[in-house]
Amino acid sequence: MRRPMIVTAAAMLLAAIVPHASASTPGPDVRVTQDAGAGYVSAYTLGTGQAYTDPTLDECSVSKGRQNEPAIAVDPRDTSVLIGSSNDYCGVYAPPGDPNLGLPLGPIWLGYYRSEDAGKSFVSSLVPGYPGDTSPFAPLAKIDTTGSGDPVVAWDAHGRAFMGSESDTDENLSNGDVWVATYVNSGGGTANDGKLYQGTVTVGKGSQAKNLLGKFNDKTALEVDRTGGKYDGNVYFAWTRFTGGKISNIYFSRSTDHGVTFSKPKNITPRNGNLQDPQVSVTGNGDVYVTFDTFAMKNGQPFGLYIAKSTDGGKTFSPPSLITTYVPVDVQDVSVFGGSARDCGDLFSACVSGYTFFRQGTSLRATADQFDPEHEWVYLTYGATKPGTEVSTGTTFGVEAPGIGGQEGAYFVRYDGAAGTHTSPALLSDQPVGNQVFPAISADGGVLHAMWWDSRNDPNYSPARPIGNDASGNTVPSLDVYATRSSDHGDIWATATRLTDVMSNPDYEQFSNRTVPFAGDYLTVTSFGDFAFSVWTDYRDVVAGTDPRETDNDDADNADVVQCRAFDPVTGWGPDTCPHAGGIDQNIYGDLSP
């Protein structure tokens, strides 16, 4: 009797939503993060209508700061309501006029970005519990943390939204906890879904140790059962736990009371290791799948995508099975100070090749259509090196391995959970030039939507060099966002559409005291039926400049940002005292997706 109940509930919700949805046509790009102009509004004010602010929110409203690793999810009850998030650095610096200006004193936190007009505009806020939060909601955040990251967002079918994160419990230590926050309808119709903050629960504890030598919780994943079946409303949370800086496994926890409590974290990959990028998917019959990838070939374990299945609402899981192998993306170089480097820039972040580039790796994303009663299919996208495109770089830079370059492609695989079979990996948009980075996918409501960063328009493109770099290490705008859709479960994908109105230079040196770029590790698309909305990290608002520490003009790479520094003959160069001038104005933008 289980399947007819699921089919009926899903069909009723789908029928109720479709009239509100319309086919998505990309329009003008929308700035999601309002850290200049409109400013930030407290969660307390959003949820209750009562005024509240604090120095952190005031700083966020003028910061022109950094945001990356965007997440977003559309309300399955009302596609006009979207909730997004990111690693939000808006509260890091002291405000103008403060004697501590230029010193990073505030938190990196989870943003809460809300749209009630299908993505035409957004209001920016922060998830409660950040350092300095004295609102009436602060005591509801049962977490101990100085900062947070790796945001994930998911909805149930009853107006609740959930936001997950990993966090640091000490600013000098590298590991901490993982937690989930809950928002409910604030009263009235579906336009108020996910608006009222209810509290935050610590799901898994880390241990405090330097250099990743304790329990380091990383790369969170979140999904909720929306099927209307036996496990409807269950909240599923997964993450990677590194232990002792050596081995990593996938841990899983579930909530059966709408996020009030969570089960004891469980290692669902005890016989595997060197794992990363978990994703949680729920198929139309309520089965739960956790997918993940490997990042190191150790003990005979290949680079590949794996999947584990639960048929009892996340209580137990099958042993993981290998779906497919791939040629990894492992962008790397050699630091001028010795040792390998995952990203490169200037000064103490400089690499032997002389290139400037952001961190990139194989990045898995997966989902399922919870409103499809006929198929137990999981849809996966990932970035990998296209076989046959490998070249010698002639430098210390490498894409696949040291000194070996190649073209990065966005791949798609459909996994049949009932049969244990899968389609052959296929490129979402096979192009002769350009790299495709951080692909993402969404499925609910019968249509697949995918998006990714794409450098097909990069005038400096070469499989032997980083994105945007010419042979001399000069950088230029080089990244766009492209998107596509499939109406037949991924058998055929439409010609990719460019979403971005402005091409970005992702190599601006905005991190580690303005010496190196960082773009995060993922992008996100959310959808219901024909409606789809994508979000990405964007650099169009960055103000370029000159780094005065490069007195000999030793790196004319076009990657420096505006900054203000004083030199002391004893202590050397001081901090950047104009962080609000736009040099670190990295933002989240979004647009309707095909």
Instruction: Give the torsion sign (CA, 266, 267, 269, 275).
Output: positive
Q: Copy the structure tokens of residue 221.
A: 């994943």
Classify the phi-psi angles of 64: left when phi > 0, otherwise alpha if psi is within -120 to 50, otherwise beta.
left
Instruction: Please report, as a single letter, which amino acid is at residue 128.
Output: P
Please tell me the predicted confidence (pLDDT) of residue 7: 44
Name the pLDDT band for 247 (thresholds 50, 70, 90): confident
What number is the average pLDDT over the span 409-435? 98
DSSP states of 549-564:
T-TT-----S--B---
HSE-up of residue 108 (Cα within 13 Å, Cβ side)? 20
- Distance in angstroms (rounded) separating the CA atoms of residues 324 and 312: 26
What per-residue confidence (pLDDT) applies to 1?
A: 29
| 20 pLDDT above the threshold of 70 | no
Distance CA 341, CA 357 (A): 10
- pLDDT at residue number 14: 56
> What is the reported pTM?
0.95
Give the best-scoring range by mean pLDDT among 13-17, 201-205, 298-302: 201-205
**Could you give all domains of the chain from N- to C-terminal order, each with its CATH number?**
32-325 (2.120.10.10), 329-414+432-594 (no CATH)
Q: Which residues pair with 75 in a beta bridge?
A: 78
Q: What mean pLDDT do residues 337-350 have?
A: 96
Predicted pLDDT at 190: 98
What are the pLDDT digits (tens) for 312-330?
999 999 999 999 999 999 9
Q: What is the mean pLDDT of residues 83-88?
A: 98
Q: Which residues contact 594 (CB under 8 A, 6 or more apart)?
A: 24, 25, 26, 449, 483, 484, 485, 494, 497, 532
**Rounded Cα–Cα distance for residues 174 and 250 (Å):** 19
257-276 burial by CB neighbour count: b if 16+ within 10 A, else e? ebbeebeebbebbeebbbbb
With a pLDDT cut of 70, the percent of the chain lying above it is 92
3-state class (DSSP) for residue 12:
helix
Comparing CA positions, the residue from 86, 79, 261, 228 lying closest to residue 156 is: 228
Region 163-181: what's the mean pLDDT?
Answer: 82
Is 200 in contact with 109 (CB distance < 8 Å)?
no
Report, in this order, helix, strand and coil percent for the chain, each rounded to 5: 5, 40, 55
Q: Is the pLDDT reported for residue 9 higher than 60?
A: no
